[in-house]
Chains A and B, each alone.
Chain A
Amino acid sequence: MSFTRKQLGLPYALFLLVFVVLPLLVVLYYAFTNGSGHFTLENFAQFFTNSKALGTLLYSFVIAIITTGICLLIAYPTAYFLAKGRIPHGAAWLLIIVLPMWINFTLRLTAMKEILSFIEGNLAFHPFLNTIIGMTYDFLPFMVLPLYNALEKMDHQLIDAARDLGASDAVVIWRVMIPLSMPGIVSGVTMVFLPAMTNYVVLDMMYNSTYIMGSLIGSYFSAYNWHAGSMISTVLLLLIGLLTWISKKTGADSEEGGSIL
């Protein structure tokens, strides 16, 4: 009886194995082999001894940290106001904030690019600033959504209780609200941080010719250099693993991002 119900999952189990797990194994294989198929650490050695490559890693981190920070600073109060009734019809406003996500991100970036060109005269003058603006514009809704979910679930009585016990606004924010909304913060940060390290289309469109980690994969792809591309992917996978581990540690609900609408 329960046999048939379990069996329904088999196609997806197979799909996950073949098209999700296996590709990563093949990437690992390519990362640790050379053109003649022999095991080698050469790919990694080249990356970690090359100052330009390490510079790319550093630049990616800088972009990702700044973007994530700005998104958090903008999104947290927004999510709080909407979730806690400071603004009526919070859920409807949230929908309005999320709505632009339906427009393809390249089209949205085109729009932002036109505006910035008009304001700045020439985009090439401020590549770094424009990249940050572009990324924030692109990823902001992804930060608001999990924060809103976390803050909405938060029991407002806890804040009242803290105030009742004599906590100042600052104490309430640091000792009560932020710890309680930690799952939302962590899940929002993971939603923004990695794309910010890898989404090189934003840089391309903002005429920022500096590379981030994603750009490296793109250029190795164009050069048919599968081994080096796989190596970069492996480095990124390690980073993803690390981030996921940290978010598990801080108790983020992995299913938060389940439905975007």
Chain B
Amino acid sequence: MRKRVSASIWLALVLLFLYAPIMILAVYSFTEATMIGQVRGFSLHNYVTLFTNEDLVAIITGTFALALIVSILSTILGTLGAIGAFYSKKRIRLAYDLANQIPVVNADVVTGFSICILLIVFLGMDKNTYIPLIIGQMALCTPFVYLSVLPRLKQMDPRLYEAALDLGCTPRQALQKVVFREVLPGMISGFMTAIMLSLDDYFIATYTKPAVFDTISTYVVNATKGSQTEIKTALWALSTVIFVVITIAVVISNLATQDKSKEEGSR
């Protein structure tokens, strides 16, 4: 019992460390305060700024649009890659695994810089086409899709594919109806990871983005260097909004899976 209590206290402290800043900021985002510690009245002006300031709106939509494009492309590329690697000879699969591991272990600074060197410096590609940015983030995200799809293929009963052929599928139909269906959970979790990585990315964006385009990361880093308090406090509102949205999404998805398992368990 005592062990349990001390474990709970430990967990509470860790959560306090992780959540206190976000929570305190969330509270202050609903006031007119420009600094923590100031006591000012309730206000929604940060939220108004967040959704009306043209710069901010452009940045937020741009960041999410980029994340979506990158994640969709990464999910397709990584899934096909994992399937191709899985059905290749062992040596070829090891080559895939090795190359795939490079961006995973590499520092993001180096990944971003190396993409920049190749595409922009060496090949002279125009940053304004957004192609270096998209490719750069794909290089970061796709390996994680590959890594979440591959275990699904390994776990898959190889006889499922054969059963589909046995029942009259052509190899292509069997791939569609069985293999893709089997790796779907891996694709989804890979897609989510890709979204998260893209939203979180600062370094690759910095080295490959068009000068006129900003993501939330690059914007925040530049904004904090200045002292524009209106934008600064609007960012508090942004982090609060993201947090609330994510929390709701996680709760809903968990309830959904719980319902499912309950339904299965009760029979």
A and B touch in the complex (CB under 8 A): yes
Indicate whether A45 reaches chain B with its CB closer than 8 angstroms: no
Q: Is A210 an interface residue (CB 8 A)?
A: no
Residues of B near A99 (CB, < 8 A) are 246-247, 250
B interface residues, how many (CB within 8 angstroms):
96
User: Are B22 and A21 touching (Cβ within 8 A)?
Assistant: no
A258 with B144: in contact, given A9-B81, A23-B115 (CB under 8 Å)?
yes
Q: Could you give, for residues 51-87 of chain A, a 1 whenever the CB lies within 8 Å of some chain B CB and a 0 otherwise?
A: 0000000000000000000000010011001100011
Residues of B within 8 A of A259 (CB): 144, 147-148, 186, 189-190, 193
A161 to chain B, nearest CB (A): 20
Give B224-267 as 1s and 0s: 1 = Cβ < 8 Å from A's Cβ atoms: 11000000100110110011001100100010000000000000
Is A5 in contact with chain B by the CB < 8 A criterion?
Answer: yes
Bound: A13/B37 CA distance, A:
54
Q: Please name all residues of chain B whose beta carbon is closer than 8 Å to the beta carbon of A93 when the two chains form the complex.
A: 11
Question: In the complex where A86-B4, A114-B25, A114-B36 touch, is A100 in contact with B80 (Cβ < 8 A)?
Answer: no
Choice from B18, B109, B117, B239 contacting A110 with Cβ under 8 Å:
B239
6 closest pairs, A vs B, by CB? A9-B84, A12-B81, A258-B147, A23-B114, A111-B21, A106-B220
Binding site for A on B (CB under 8 A): 3-4, 7-8, 10-11, 14-15, 17-22, 24-25, 28, 35-37, 77-78, 80-85, 87-88, 96-97, 99-111, 113-119, 121-122, 135, 138-139, 142, 144, 146-148, 150-151, 171-172, 175, 186, 189-190, 192-193, 196, 199-200, 202-203, 206-207, 216-217, 220-221, 224-225, 232, 235-236, 238-239, 242-243, 246-247, 250, 254
A sample of 16 more A-B contacts (CB under 8 A), given A6-B88, A137-B17, A233-B110, is A2-B87, A15-B81, A20-B99, A23-B111, A23-B139, A26-B122, A86-B4, A87-B11, A95-B250, A99-B246, A103-B246, A106-B221, A114-B28, A217-B109, A221-B113, A257-B147
